[in-house]
């Protein structure tokens, strides 16, 4: 069952990502995707090394210790979705949307932790997931806002 769930989320992530790339500015979405994938890979290695979380069933278990499906497909795609949802928003609405989008993801992870072998919390809980997801959405949104700001300045000069 776990591998079927993995395949479902892989196909869903790839399909959603392809759909999200149709909306400009493409360079922003690709930048967000790769920044979030890099961020996830580093953080997941930390979380696994310090035995906070483990992933008993995952893609390519002999090659990668992290959950490559989440780190390189689902998590970055959700980052692009969040940035598209908040593209024209002011800071208060961006914060609200970060908290709102983090909630269903956290609840889904919690359900997986309770009912599957996809993830096991060792020294972790849903509150850490919720706030770390929210902060990561806000962090990457802030990074891309700074990049856009300086990019626009360069284009004006």
Query: Is 62 contained in some domain?
Result: yes
Tokens 């609405």 belong to: 93
Residue that wins the pLDDT comparison between 66 and 93: 93
Is 82 contained in some domain?
yes
CB 43 within 8 A of CB 70: no
* Over residues 6-33, mean pLDDT: 94
pLDDT of residue 5: 93
**pTM score, whole prediction:** 0.91
> What does the alpha-carbon distance between residue 87 and residue 75 come to, in Å, rounded to a whole number?
18
In a domain? residue 39: yes
- Residue 133 falls within a domain, yes or no? yes
117-127: per-residue pLDDT in tens? 999 999 999 99
pLDDT per residue as tens digits for the range 131-157: 999 999 999 999 999 999 998 877 776
For residue 132, what are its two tokens? Answer: 């770390």
Residue-by-residue DSSP string for 53-119:
EE-SS-SSTTT-SS-HHIIIIIHHHHHHHHHHHTTT--HHHHHHHHHHHHHHHHHHHHHHHHHSSS-
Q: What is the number of domains present in the chain? A: 1
- Full domain range(s) for residue 54: 2-8+26-156
Q: What percent of the chain stands above pLDDT 70?
A: 99
């Amino acid at each position: 069952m776990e591998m079927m769930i993995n395949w479902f989320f892989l196909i869903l992530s790839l399909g959603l990502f392809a759909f999200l790339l149709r909306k400009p500015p493409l360079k922003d979405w690709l930048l967000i995707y790769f920044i979030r994938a890099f961020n996830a890979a580093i953080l997941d290695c930390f979380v696994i090394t310090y035995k906070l979380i483990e992933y008993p069933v995952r893609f390519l278990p002999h090659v990668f210790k992290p959950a490559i499906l989440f780190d390189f497909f689902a998590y970055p795609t959700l980052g692009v979705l969040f940035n598209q949802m908040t593209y024209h928003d002011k800071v208060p609405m961006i914060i609200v949307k970060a908290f709102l989008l983090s909630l269903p993801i956290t609840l889904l992870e919690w359900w997986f932790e309770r009912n599957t072998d996809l993830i096991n919390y060792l020294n972790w809980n849903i509150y850490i997931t919720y706030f770390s997801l929210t902060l990561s959405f806000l962090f990457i949104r802030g990074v891309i806002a700074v990049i856009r700001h300086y990019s626009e300045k360069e284009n004006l000069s």
